[in-house]
C-alpha cells in the first residue's frame, strides 16, 4: 500500500524525522534549491503539509497542492497558515497546543527575572574581572510584589499568571471578556489601561488580524520608562518600529523578546540596545516538549489518514 505523500516545509529534530519518514512519503521542501520547481513537481500528489508555526503555508503553496487535505502545524501558532484558502477548499488544519504551554510560561517568567536582575550583564561583570576591579555590580530592580499585566489569558497567559502569584505580584489581565477561572485577578478590558497599571506586561495572545500590532505606540507609552515588555507570543502582536523607537528613546524601560518580525534576521537596531533581552524563538525549546510536539504532529496526520477524529483541530 502506497504511503500518503506529504510536504515537509521545515526541518524537525531527528527523533521526529525518522518516524515521519517511516509512516509517510516525505517531500522535503526546505532542502530544495529551486522551491518553485520542486513544488510544481511534487505538489499535485501532496495530500498533507507538515509545517512549523513560524513557517506556515501560504496561499501559493496551498494552491500548488490540489489534492491537499490537511495542514499539520508543529507549534501552537497557526497565523502563518492561510486559513481563508483552507476554508475555501475544506482543508483541515491542526496545531500542537497544551504540550508546550508550561515551557513557554517558564521562559517568559525566566526572561522577566533575568532582565530585571541584570543576570546577563552580571555574569559578564564577573568573567571580565569588573567585580574585582570595579566593585559591586550596579543595582537592579526587584520582581516580587510588583504589578504584572497579562495580555491574553489563554492557556499560556494563565500559566504565566499562576507562576507570578508565587512572587506575590499584583496581577491583572486583558482579554475579550473576564474569565471565570481567574476570579482573583483584576480584569482590565483596555490594553492601554492594562499597560498603565503594570510594571511588567506579558504578551501571550494568539496572533490574528485583529491582534496585529495591538501592542503599539499607545500601549508601549503607557507601560512607560520603568516598564518591561515580555513577548512570548507572536511577533506580529507588537509594532516593532514603535517598540524600537521607544527602547531607543527611553519611553519604554526594557523588553524581553523571544519572537521577531523576519526572524532569524531580526532588525539590527535590536543588537545596539542594552535594555533588551533577546532569545532565539525557543520558548518551547525543551527536549520533552519538542518530542511531544512532534508526536502530536504525527498523531494528527495518522488520525486523518486513518479516518479518525483529529486530536487537535484548528479547522
180 exposure class (CB count in 10 Å sphere: 0-12, 13-18, 19+): exposed
Burial of 34 (0-12, 13-18, 19+ CB in 10 A): exposed
Average pLDDT over residues 271-285: 97
| Predicted local confidence at residue 38, as pLDDT | 98
- Three-state secondary-structure class, residue 273: coil
Query: Can 213 be counted among the known catalytic residues?
Result: no
Region of 262 please: left (phi>0), alpha (psi -120 to 50) or beta.
left
Q: Is 281 a catalytic site residue?
A: yes
| Grid cell locating 138 | 550596579
User: Measured over all CA atoms, what is the biggest interatomic distance in the chain, rounded to whole angstroms?
Assistant: 72
Tell me the mean pLDDT in the region 200-205. Answer: 98
- Cβ distance 279 to 107 under 8 Å? yes
**Hey, CA dihedral for 187, 222, 149, 142, is it positive or negative?**
negative
Choice among 52, 163, 281, 298 that is catalytic: 281
Average pLDDT over residues 249-272: 97
Q: What percent of the chain has pLDDT over 90?
A: 97
Q: What is the pLDDT of residues 109-149, one digit of tens each?
A: 999 999 999 999 999 999 999 999 999 999 999 999 999 99
CB atoms inside a 10 Å sphere around CB 179:
15
pLDDT of residue 153: 98
User: Would you state the cell numbers that stand for residue 199, as one nine-digit string?
Assistant: 510594571
Residue whose grid cell is 508526536? 295
Instruction: Give the model's pLDDT for residue 82.
Output: 97
- CA dihedral 70→71→76→78, nearest 10 degrees, is -120
Considering only CA atoms, which of 173, 114, 180 is closest in space to residue 143?
A: 114
CB-neighbour burial class of residue 92 (10 A; exposed 0-12, middle 13-18, buried 19+): middle
Residue listed under C-alpha cell 505538489: 43
The pTM for the full model equals 0.91
Residue 105: pLDDT over 80 = yes
Residue 1 reports pLDDT greater than 90: no
> For residue 233, is the peptide bond before it cis, meaning its omega torsion is within 30 degrees of 0?
no
CA distance 160 to 171: 10
The answer to whether 101 touches 283, Cβ cutoff 8 Å, is: no
Residue recorded with cell 515580555: 230
The b/e string for 263-299 (b: 16+ C-beta within 10 A; e otherwise) is: eeebeeebeeeeebbebebebbebeebbebbbbbbbb
- pLDDT, mean of residues 17-39: 97
Three-state DSSP state, 183: coil
Task: Answer yes or no: is pLDDT of 179 > 80.
Answer: yes
pLDDT of residue 52: 96
Half-sphere exposure of 36 (CA within 13 A, CB side): 1
Of the pLDDT bands very low, low, confident and very high (cuts 50, 70, 90), residue 280 is very high
Q: What is the pLDDT averaged over residues 248-255?
A: 98
CA distance 119 to 138: 11
Per the residue annotation, which of 27, 155, 234, 298 is the catalytic one?
234
**Distance, first Cα to last Cα, the chain:** 28
Q: How many residues does the chain have?
A: 315
d(CA 71, CA 58): 11
Question: Looking at residues 43-48, what average pLDDT do you find?
Answer: 98
Amino acid at each position: 500500500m502506497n504511503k500518503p505523500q506529504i510536504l515537509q516545509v521545515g526541518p524537525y529534530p531527528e527523533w521526529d524525522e525518522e518516524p515521519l519518514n517511516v509512516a509517510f512519503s516525505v517531500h522535503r521542501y526546505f532542502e530544495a534549491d529551486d522551491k518553485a520547481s520542486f513544488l510544481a513537481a511534487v505538489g499535485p500528489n501532496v495530500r498533507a503539509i507538515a509545517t512549523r508555526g513560524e513557517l506556515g503555508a501560504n496561499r501559493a503553496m496551498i494552491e500548488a497542492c490540489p489534492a491537499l487535505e490537511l495542514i499539520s502545524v508543529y507549534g501552537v501558532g497557526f497565523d502563518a497558515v492561510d486559513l481563508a484558502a483552507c476554508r475555501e477548499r475544506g482543508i483541515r488544519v491542526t496545531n500542537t497546543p497544551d504540550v508546550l504551554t508550561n515551557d513557554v510560561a517558564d521562559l517568559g517568567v525566566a526572561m522577566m527575572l533575568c532582565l530585571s536582575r541584570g543576570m546577563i550583564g552580571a555574569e559578564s561583570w564577573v568573567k571580565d574581572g569588573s567585580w574585582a576591579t570595579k566593585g559591586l555590580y550596579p543595582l537592579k530592580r526587584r520582581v516580587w510584589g510588583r504589578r504584572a499585566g497579562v495580555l491574553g489569558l489563554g492557556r499560556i497567559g494563565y500559566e504565566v499568571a499562576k507562576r507570578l502569584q508565587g512572587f506575590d505580584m499584583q496581577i491583572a489581565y486583558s482579554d475579550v471578556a473576564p474569565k471565570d477561572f481567574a476570579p482573583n485577578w483584576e480584569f482590565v478590558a483596555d490594553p492601554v489601561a492594562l499597560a498603565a497599571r503594570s510594571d511588567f506586561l506579558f504578551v501571550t495572545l494568539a496572533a490574528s488580524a485583529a491582534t496585529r500590532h495591538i501592542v503599539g505606540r499607545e500601549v508601549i507609552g503607557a507601560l512607560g520608562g520603568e516598564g518591561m515588555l515580555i513577548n512570548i507570543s507572536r511577533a506580529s502582536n507588537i509594532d516593532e518600529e514603535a517598540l524600537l523607537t521607544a527602547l531607543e528613546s527611553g519611553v519604554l524601560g526594557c523588553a524581553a523578546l523571544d519572537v521577531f518580525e523576519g526572524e532569524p534576521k531580526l532588525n539590527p537596531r535590536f543588537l545596539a540596545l542594552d535594555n533588551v533581552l533577546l532569545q532565539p524563538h525557543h520558548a518551547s525549546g525543551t527536549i520533552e516538549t519538542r518530542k511531544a510536539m512532534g508526536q502530536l504532529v504525527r498523531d494528527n496526520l495518522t488520525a486523518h489518514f486513518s479516518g479518525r477524529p483529529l486530536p487537535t483541530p484548528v479547522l
